[in-house]
Amino acid sequence: AAEAVQPVLGIAVDVADPASVEAAFVRMDEELPPVLALVNLAGIASPHTLFELTKELWTRVMDANATGTLLMMQAAARRMIDGGCGGRIVNTSSITAYDGGGTFSKTGYAGAKAAVLGLTRGAARELGPHGITCNAVVPGPIDTDIMGGPLSEDRKAALSGDIPVQRVGRPSEVAALVNFLVGEEAGFINGASYFIDGGKHMV
């Protein structure tokens, strides 16, 4: 049997701009089925040390990682509540929120990704009564270009030194975790933070 065709809509949006976010959701309202899940993946790294972190750099990293998460959650959750069918929200934090960084991203990124965890837990409490769950994924080093460009084999080896499974993660592994958290089976998981880091950080 042929697989059902799922509609896809690409929209450029500044996640830190309320008007841009709302315009994107209005267009989705017009062209797509109702919003039942939101995955916040937008983010930027910040390699700046504590004393290099100007207010402008701080605002930039907070806007992309934390403010964008807040605005997207607000827009999606309003629609989920109005629709009365519940929903799923998954936010992307980072192991840097726990260990402070050091391999590439440092203090500003750690602060922004820690804010994502607080937003996730607060939203989980407020939205749970509406049948909406909110959870966070906490990746360790993943084979993407967020850490200053594509990872060379030497860089992967260096990043893997203190990871028990002795490698960096794959984007598909993060996607599999997110796919589970937005699924029907995850309905009793709420306010949780899921490490996906090969055992780099154990709590």
Q: Does residue 194 have an active-site annotation?
A: no
Per-domain residue ranges of the chain: 18-196
Q: Which residues contact 74 (CB under 8 A, 6 or more apart)?
A: none
* Under 8 Å between Cβ of 93 and 117: yes
Among the listed residues 46, 93, 94, 160, the single catalytic one is: 94
DSSP state string for 10-57: -----TT-HHHHHHHHHHHHHHSSPP-EEEE---------GGG--HHH
pLDDT for 155 beyond 80: no
Give the pLDDT of residue 148. 56
User: What's residue 169's pLDDT?
Assistant: 86
The residue with greater pLDDT, 163 or 93, is 93
Domain 18-196 in CATH 3.40.50.720: yes
Q: Are 97 and 114 in contact (CB under 8 A)?
A: yes
Please report, rounded to a whole number, the percentage of residues in the chain having pLDDT higher than 70.
90
Tokens representing 69 are 């998460």
Query: Annotated catalytic, 109?
Result: yes
Q: Which of 93, 98, 105, 113 is catalytic?
A: 113
Helix (H, G, I), strand (E, B) or coil at 138: strand
- Residue matched to tokens 């055992």: 199
